[in-house]
A and B are shown apart, each in its own frame.
Chain A
Amino acid sequence: MVEQLFQKYEPSNRSNLIAILQDIQNVFGYLPENVIQQVADYLKLPLSSVYGVATFYNQFRLKPLGKNVIRVCRGTACHVKESENILSALELELKIKAGETTRDKLFTLETVACIGACSIAPVVNINDEYYGRVTIREIPKILKKFRLENKAQIKQNTGEE
């Protein structure tokens, strides 16, 4: 299946690297290690160069995303409204750092430059939902909602079987 992703690109042509990596990320949601190796072989590039490019651009991820992606805005307006504290609170609550995914793969925590909702700063975005004027005290409640949703889903799935 991975080979199909490359086939439309000319082998050994290094200028296709970024396009190929984008295609792979679109399929897998991230860049799996073994696939990066295959890209290197296909383009006749050292693995280190491909890895170097993959880590240079923020758009690429080397690890799969969690089920829910939490993005804390670190833009100017949010910064003024102390979004840093929100981030710290989330890191504490989830026991991970920004850029990481929880062990149960339920949450990935990220920061973004500016979401564009400055009027409701500080803003946190989880999947498709936006939470404005977030306070630290609300955070456990917000996370709980996703945890419960997940539990319900698991129950439903196992119940169906």
Chain B
Amino acid sequence: MIELTINNIKVQAEENMTILDAAKSVGIHIPTLCHMKDLFPTGACRICVVEVDGMKGLIPSCSYPVAEGMEIKTNSTRVKNARKTIVELLVENHPQDCLICVRNGNCELQNLAKKYSLREHRYIGEKKNHAIDISSSSMERDPAKCILCGRCVRTCNEIQKVGAIDFTNRGFRTNVTTPYNKGLNVSDCILCGQCILVCPTAALRERSSTKEVMNAISNKNKFVVAQIAPAVRATIGEEYNLPLGSNVTGQLVTGLRRLGFKRVFDTNFSADLTIMEEASELADRIINKKVLPMFTSCCPGWVKYLEHNHPEMIDNLSTCKSPHEMEGAVLKSYYAKKMGIDPKDMYVVSIMPCTVKKFESARPELNYNKIQDVDAVLTTRELVRLFNMMGIDFDDLPEDEFDNPLGESSGAAVIFGTSGGVMEAALRTAYFNITGKELEKLEFYDIRGLEGIKKSIIHIGEMELNVAVVNGIGNVEQMISEIKEGKIKYHFIEVMACPGGCINGGGQPIHQKPEKVKKRIQALYEIDQKMSNRKSYNNVSIQNIYKEFLIEPNSHIAHNILHTSYTDRRKLIK
């Protein structure tokens, strides 16, 4: 232990602790921009400077370790002036269109300008002038709003390990962009949106679909329906200052009805359907000695990654469409027929925690009878904007229930929203399918949690299954090399591109606080725990849809409607 003083307060700190962390431990906040928890500091922005007694210059606290007897001032006039100048320079090089910016009210640059009382324009200089990248259907990049903190670059390179964007050029011309500035859509980007979550400004943001959706709702000839992903119900409350992990399913349903959706369904229904199809596909692959291991296909970011980087493994991907795509396909076939609606007039909107789902919904493979399964995807953040615009006061909303039959679901479906959940849900059903017996203990703790790779050996009857869960796309290369090495013969592997799973998806409320993710995950497991039915095959609506329409999992008709194919993207971009 080391003793030092910060702002005349005695502080006990561990050796190697940074000044920033030591200050935090006694409740002294130092602003940061380029700093990222758990990553090596770059010291790029210098907003975190402090004054250390006996040292000439100001010291960046995020990267400087404490030492015995140090006397530190975090708020001296000199420090404040230095920080203010940094903020002023950033602001002067910024478009300053706060009033019409999506991050208005949730922007770190705005907050700093407020904190340091910027009241005049002291430096007026040349402003950056870069075009907005709208090449992708999921995300936009607006480099004019970039303050070059590098957090997106580090997230993409060090956490996701995709490496789609990097710093280019230097000096005034420095720009964070894709190779040859060609646009996200022609890069290796998987559109996971993790970079949006860390960006302090609106330089990275989702491609908004709110206009299209509201236009469809006001079109009298359209039958507009909504479906909600499991992960949205446990996070949207954060935008209304509800306690972390609040489950607000009932209010969401009411809110969507008030927006004008004719029906509100639960993507969890199709998560159960996915499990039925996927568990049967797995059994078929094992019994008939087809390609193994089978990879889950619910995460379109992971699918896109594989298509770019390992097209030789496309046959390992489950052919199951992702749950919201299945829901769309079933709505436009089974449900439309039941209701006597022309599927062409139906407009399906998915409320998702995810940015890649936008790209996914536009994939040409994802249609039935040439009608696209899903028409529009709104992220959690966009839905909040619509609620606000339409005067829907979330706090006082009464609760309501989903429409049926595509609204019923099991506890297995809700945990799809977190890493390990798809695997756990599938195992609950696979156990029954193979043994004919009900599983006693439903929780698979080995594959829960936030570790990068979670492995387990599962005994089902005579069978011994090697399974693994990859949490975050940055860990997938290690798994793939292990598979290629072939020491262990894996049967089933779940991959989710976002660390923590969809609950931490790129379309979720922007928070910058890793501890939030754990609380959100807990919320999903609690919903599962409280459900009377926690197994997909016991979902009565699922049993009915097979009886009335799909016959059995992996039947010919199920294949036509619920399964898909993939594209070798290596050829596309190189």
Contacts and interface: CB of A to CB of B under 8 A. Distances in A.
Interface of A: 33, 36-37, 45-52, 55-56, 62
29 contacts: A36-B179, A37-B574, A46-B157, A46-B162, A46-B163, A46-B166, A46-B188, A47-B163, A47-B179, A47-B187, A47-B188, A48-B163, A48-B165, A48-B179, A49-B163, A49-B166, A50-B179, A51-B166, A51-B168, A51-B179, A51-B180, A52-B166, A52-B167, A52-B168, A55-B168, A55-B169, A56-B167, A56-B169, A56-B170
Interface string B483-496: 00000000000000
Contacts of B473: none
A33 B164 CA distance: 16
B178 interface: yes
A45 B164 CA distance: 11
Interface string B138-165: 0000000000000000000100001111
Nearest to B574: A37
Which of A48, A51, A52 has most B Cβ within 10 Å? A48
A52 B157 CA distance: 13
Leading 10 A-B pairs by shortest Cβ distance: A46-B163, A52-B166, A48-B166, A51-B179, A55-B168, A47-B179, A55-B169, A52-B168, A56-B170, A48-B179
A21 to B, nearest CB: 14
Contacts of B162: 46
Contacts of B574: 37
Contacts of B163: 45-49
B382 to A, nearest CB: 28
B200 to A, nearest CB: 21
A48 B180 CA distance: 8
Nearest to A56: B170
Nearest to A52: B166
B168 A56 contact: yes
Nearest to A41: B574
Contacts of B164: 46, 48
A48 B163 CA distance: 6
Nearest to A57: B170
Contacts, number: 41
A62 B170 CA distance: 15
Contacts of B157: 46, 49
Given A48-B188, A56-B170, 9 more contacts: A37-B574, A46-B164, A46-B188, A48-B166, A49-B157, A52-B166, A52-B168, A55-B169, A55-B170
B190 to A, nearest CB: 12
Contacts of A52: 166-168
Contacts of A33: 180
A47 B178 CA distance: 9
A37 B162 CA distance: 15
Given A33-B180, A37-B574, A48 B187 contact: yes
Contacts of A56: 167-170
A53 B157 CA distance: 15
A48 B178 contact: yes
Interface in B551-574: 574
A37 B570 CA distance: 12
A31 to B, nearest CB: 11
Contacts of B180: 33, 51, 62
A37 B571 CA distance: 13
A140 B178 CA distance: 39
A46 B168 CA distance: 13
A55 B165 CA distance: 13
Nearest to A36: B179
A130 B130 CA distance: 36
Contacts of B165: 48
A56 B187 CA distance: 20
Nearest to B173: A55
Contacts of A51: 166, 168, 179-180
Contacts of A55: 168-170
Contacts of B167: 52, 56
Nearest to A54: B168
Contacts of B179: 36, 47-48, 50-51
A50 to B, nearest CB: 8
Nearest to A34: B574
Contacts of B170: 55-56
A125 B117 CA distance: 51
A45 B12 CA distance: 42
A62 B162 CA distance: 23
Contacts of A50: 179
Contacts of A49: 157, 163, 166
A33 B179 CA distance: 10
A55 B188 CA distance: 19
Which of B157, B164, B166, B180 has most A Cβ within 10 Å? B166
B136 to A, nearest CB: 15
A62 B181 CA distance: 12
Nearest to A38: B574
A62 B165 CA distance: 18
